[in-house]
Amino acid sequence: MNSSAHINDSNLKVLERAILVAGLMTVGLSGFLILSIGINHFRTVDSKSKLGATEREVIALSQTLEKGKRIQFQPISKKELNIVQAAMDRLANQNNVQLQEVTSTNDTVPFMTHYKKSVEERGWKQLPITGQVVGTLSNVMAFSRKLATISTPIELLAIDILPIGTKADENTKVSAKVSFQILKQEASQ
């Protein structure tokens, strides 16, 4: 008998182990690939869902832009500015503070509140105004609270307060820069 034609028991066991290891590796790799396919499927579904939501937002924004093309802004008039100025003068006198300066630009810009993320169907414009007042802290704060309640719609943006005197008592004067914006709703055509 030819010795090369026969496979002995030890060679057979090595061959069986090699086939078993190769089979286990194949099963493990197959499991990994199936798991990977499943994860990718769920990622694809999630991505499609997010894409659908983004597409709906784009459509809504496009519709808002189309509506915006039909809106005309009625600019803030001198009369409205005079009303705000008169209200500030009156509130300064009532609250025992000195209104030293009021500044504003002539440019109105589209309004988006800092407190809300969505935009209303009908747009608004804003005109930033800054006023400088001097008085005691309690009087300046009373002025600022009452300023927010005037008949013209405004949104307070900031109050920057700096002490003027060196004594720390309730009569120490402060200088406050009050920043707000006048709001005006646009009218549809």
Nearest CA to 147 out of 119, 126, 177, 117 is that of 177
User: Does one domain contain both 15 and 105?
Assistant: no
User: Does one domain contain both 84 and 162?
Assistant: yes
User: Does one domain contain both 1 and 61?
Assistant: yes
Based on the structure, what is the number of domains in the chain? 2
Query: What would the pLDDT profile of 26-64 be if each residue is shown by its tens digit?
Result: 999 999 999 999 999 999 999 999 988 889 888 888 877
User: Does one domain contain both 54 and 109?
Assistant: no
Query: What would the pLDDT profile of 98-145 be if each residue is shown by its tens digit?
Result: 998 888 776 666 666 666 666 554 567 777 888 899 999 889 999 999
Query: What would the pLDDT profile of 147-176 be if each residue is shown by its tens digit?
Result: 888 888 888 889 999 988 767 666 788 999
User: Does one domain contain both 132 and 60?
Assistant: no
CB 166 within 8 A of CB 126: no
> What amino acid occupies position 153?
P
> The whole model's pTM is what?
0.51
User: Does one domain contain both 64 and 103?
Assistant: no
- Domain boundary (69, 96, 120) is at 69
Residue 73's pLDDT is what?
Answer: 47
Q: Which domain holds residue 181?
A: 78-188
User: Does one domain contain both 61 and 84?
Assistant: no
Q: Which residues pair with 158 in a beta bridge?
A: 179
User: Does one domain contain both 16 and 105?
Assistant: no
Residue 70's pLDDT is what?
Answer: 55
